[in-house]
């Protein structure tokens, strides 16, 4: 995950913020990961940010993070990849 943060110039605390302040939550049916989406500042303006994560009784582990658009979200839902 730290490589993704550095590659995309994302602050280390951002994945936790996305998960805690999620405006939309899904499950990725292909991977089983939970998907949290929230609008947060990124590169000087507001962006939708997506975090894929695993959740157990003991902890939450972020897998990846990246910006995306609302049409991207709608396409994932429409094609059945993400479910609520």
Domain count of the chain? 1
DSSP 70: H
Model confidence at 20: pLDDT above 70? yes
- State the pLDDT at residue 18: 93
- The tens digit of pLDDT for each residue in 50-84 reads 999 998 889 999 998 889 999 999 999 999 999 99
Q: Which two tokens stand for residue 46?
A: 């507001």
Range of the structural domain that residue 35 is part of:
2-83
Half-sphere exposure of 32 (CA within 13 A, CB side): 3
DSSP 84: -
């Amino acid at each position: 995950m730290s490589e993704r943060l550095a590659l995309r110039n994302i602050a280390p605390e951002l994945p936790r913020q996305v998960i805690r302040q999620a405006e939309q939550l899904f499950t990725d049916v292909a991977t089983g990961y939970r998907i949290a989406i929230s609008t947060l500042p990124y590169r000087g303006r507001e962006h939708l940010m997506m975090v894929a994560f695993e959740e157990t009784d003991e902890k939450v582990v972020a897998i990846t993070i990246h910006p995306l658009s609302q049409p991207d979200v709608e396409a994932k839902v429409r094609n059945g990849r993400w479910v609520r």
